[in-house]
């Protein structure tokens, strides 16, 4: 498995999906320790992918949250009890992230009827009155529901647990299984390549080592000032898409420079070709050549074993 780079890449991808599932579980169930563990595992991924602000922010966030037991023991106690998320019902899988609730509830109420954006103004006094009146409005709403005998609730069945949704999920699952059976990423081919297009990477493509690359970058951040520390692009993981784009740009630069030289040297010697109509026709030809070069570039990067097994 150590020599099968495509298989390593897919296993790494499955690990990333698992980290995302752990994070969603931590938010839904209000598990504080699992939340911190998931964010900690995301750090190398952020760094290797070049998401500088995510890496720095998550690093500082972990430092502050791990110091809560000593700096703010009461807050730590509440977070450990599951109060780092917001719950609008008492169901087990009903925890919501604070930023999600702010966007879906607070910001939504600001933009609907009765909100700040509907004729009330955005002065500081108006914002304070509107914000501080929200708890009172909630009490009035609850009292009116009691008086009218009206109750609003939800069923225990999840909205995506219907029979139609289950059937569609099963069909999508079997489509994915059929695709992976045809384009199996776990072969003995030592190269790193895309199983859908067959584009093969060279030795410079190191995305299959993204986890170790990210850990090296995170280790280099220890003891550094967050405002002064800079990420170097050459230290990031290089993907197949980046190598393919660089190859395309090299080919386009070559043909652009060649076309420019031909125009400078050839057109002044031929006045009949200097008209705007002829130049437009030549531009169309050059554009067509661009597409041919891109297609040829992609074909050249196809893996030979992939072509043998699956064709074009």
Q: What is the DSSP string of 75-107?
A: HHHHIIIIITSEESSS-TT-EE-HHHHIIIIIH
Tens of pLDDT, residues 25-35: 999 999 999 99
Instruction: Report how far residue 194's alpha carbon sits from residue 240's, in angstroms, rounded to the nearest whole number.
Output: 8
250: exposed, middle or buried (Cβ count in 10 Å: 0-12, 13-18, 19+): exposed
Tens of pLDDT, residues 135-190: 788 788 778 878 887 766 666 666 777 888 899 999 999 999 999 999 999 988 88
Instruction: Report how far residue 55's alpha carbon sits from residue 19's, in angstroms, rounded to the nearest whole number.
Output: 16
> Which among 55, 52, 47, 19 is positioned nearest to 35, based on CA atoms?
19
Q: Predicted confidence band at 267 (pLDDT cuts at 50, 70, 90)?
A: very low
Instruction: Report how far residue 6's alpha carbon sits from residue 139's, in angstroms, rounded to the nearest whole number.
Output: 58
């Amino acid at each position: 498995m150590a020599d099968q780079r495509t298989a390593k890449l897919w296993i790494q991808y499955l690990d990333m999906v698992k980290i995302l599932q752990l994070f969603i579980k931590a938010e839904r169930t209000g598990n504080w320790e699992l939340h911190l563990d998931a964010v900690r595992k995301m750090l190398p991924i952020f760094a290797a992918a070049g998401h500088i602000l995510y890496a720095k922010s998550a690093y500082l966030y972990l430092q502050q949250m791990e110091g809560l037991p000593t700096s703010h023991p009461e807050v730590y106690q509440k977070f450990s009890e599951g109060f780092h998320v917001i719950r609008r019902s008492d169901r087990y899988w009903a925890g919501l992230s604070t930023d999600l609730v702010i966007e879906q509830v607070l910001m939504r109420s600001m933009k609907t009827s009765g909100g700040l954006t509907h004729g009330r103004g955005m002065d500081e006094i108006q914002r304070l009155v509107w914000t501080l009146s929200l708890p009172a409005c909630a009490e009035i709403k609850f009292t009116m529901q009691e008086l009218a005998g009206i109750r609003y609730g939800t069923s225990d069945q999840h909205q995506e647990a219907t029979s139609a949704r289950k059937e569609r999920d099963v069909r999508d699952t079997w489509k994915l299984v059929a695709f992976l059976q045809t384009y199996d990423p776990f072969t003995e081919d030592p190269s790193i390549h895309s199983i859908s297009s067959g584009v093969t990477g060279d030795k410079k493509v190191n995305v299959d080592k993204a986890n170790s690359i990210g850990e090296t970058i995170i280790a280099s951040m220890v003891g550094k000032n967050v405002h002064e520390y800079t990420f170097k692009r050459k230290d990031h993981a290089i993907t197949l898409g980046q190598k393919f784009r660089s190859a395309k740009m090299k080919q386009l630069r070559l043909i652009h420079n060649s076309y420019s030289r031909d125009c400078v040297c050839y057109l002044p010697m031929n006045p009949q070709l200097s008209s705007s109509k002829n130049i437009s026709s030549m531009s169309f030809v050059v554009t067509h050549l661009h597409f041919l070069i891109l297609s040829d570039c992609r074909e050249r990067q196809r893996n030979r074993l992939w072509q043998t097994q699956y064709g074009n």
